[in-house]
Structure 1
Amino acid sequence: MRKRGGSEVFRITGARQGLAEDVRGRQRRYVISMSVRTVSVIATAVLWNVERHVAIVTLALGVLLPYIAVVIANAGRETAPSLPSTFVPAPVRPALGADGSAPESGAERP
């Protein structure tokens, strides 16, 4: 496909996803991270008197995960690519010969 004026043509698959879809995905990642944090805090309370080393690890996970979840959820649309990788080059038309006919491939004209 070629537009008049010689502008570049891009496939639609190279376009970024919509804003609503992007926000929905970030919310989903955040909810999953906070669910893991909730499970780790509950595991800390349950394991504190049973297995102290595992409880300390789950406590550290419960403390660090909110920061990590916010950073992951906020990482999104800031890095916009300059050009999509699905660039479609303009078609090249063969040049006409001196007599107006298309040149033959592989053979020279006398």
Structure 2
Amino acid sequence: MAEGKQRPVVHTVTSAQTSPADDQAQRIRRYLTMMGIRVACFGLVFVLHGWLRWVAIIGAVVLPYFAVVTANAVRPSQSGTIQPVTPQADRNRLEQ
């Protein structure tokens, strides 16, 4: 390699933070899962008897609160660490 020429620095992104779109998709899945459980609780109210019916009623009433709270809980942004890496072609040249 020429004396005055610098090699480009290549960074790895495996340690980068989660994208906002991925975070939002995860929160949506969590919300829909909890709402699905709520719908199941509504159905179980008509099938179950005794204390299990009361558990299903409480689940149907309380789950929306937790679903909304967890859906709105955005993770605090964390700074990812960027680490330089040597491309595979450069490694082979350096070893020779």
Give the TM-score, by structure 2 length.
0.65
Higher helix share: 2
Give the TM-score, by structure 1 length.
0.57
Aligned residue number for residue 90 of structure 2: none
8 Å contact from structure 2 (residues 13, 82) kept in 1 = no
Please state if 1:14 is matched with 2:15: yes
C-alpha distance in 2 between matches for 1:16 and 1:39 = 35
Aligned residue number for residue 63 of structure 1: 61
Q: Deviations over 1:5-45 (max 9, x none)?
A: xxxxx752232222222221111111111000000111012
Q: Which runs of 5+ in 2 are unaligned?
A: 1-8, 84-96
C-alpha distance in 1 between matches for 2:72 and 2:16 = 20
Query: Secondary structure of 1:13's match?
Result: coil
C-alpha distance in 1 between matches for 2:82 and 2:26 = 27
Identity %: 34
Deviation, 1:67, is 0.5
Aligned residue number for residue 51 of structure 2: 53
C-alpha distance in 2 between matches for 1:80 and 1:20 = 13
Query: Secondary structure of 2:77's match?
Result: coil
Which protein, 1 or 2, shows the higher relative CO under an 8 Å CA cutoff with sep ≥ 6? 2
Spell out the pairing of 1:1-110 with structure 2 (5 A cutoff): 11-47=12-48, 51-77=49-75, 79-81=76-78, 83-84=79-80, 86=81, 88=83
Deviation, 1:61, is 0.8
C-alpha distance in 1 between matches for 2:13 and 2:36 = 35
Q: Which runs of 5+ in 1 are unaligned?
A: 4-9, 89-110
* Equivalent residue pairs, number: 78
Query: Secondary structure of 1:14's match?
Result: coil
What is the identity, as a one-letter code, of the residue corresponding to 1:63?
V
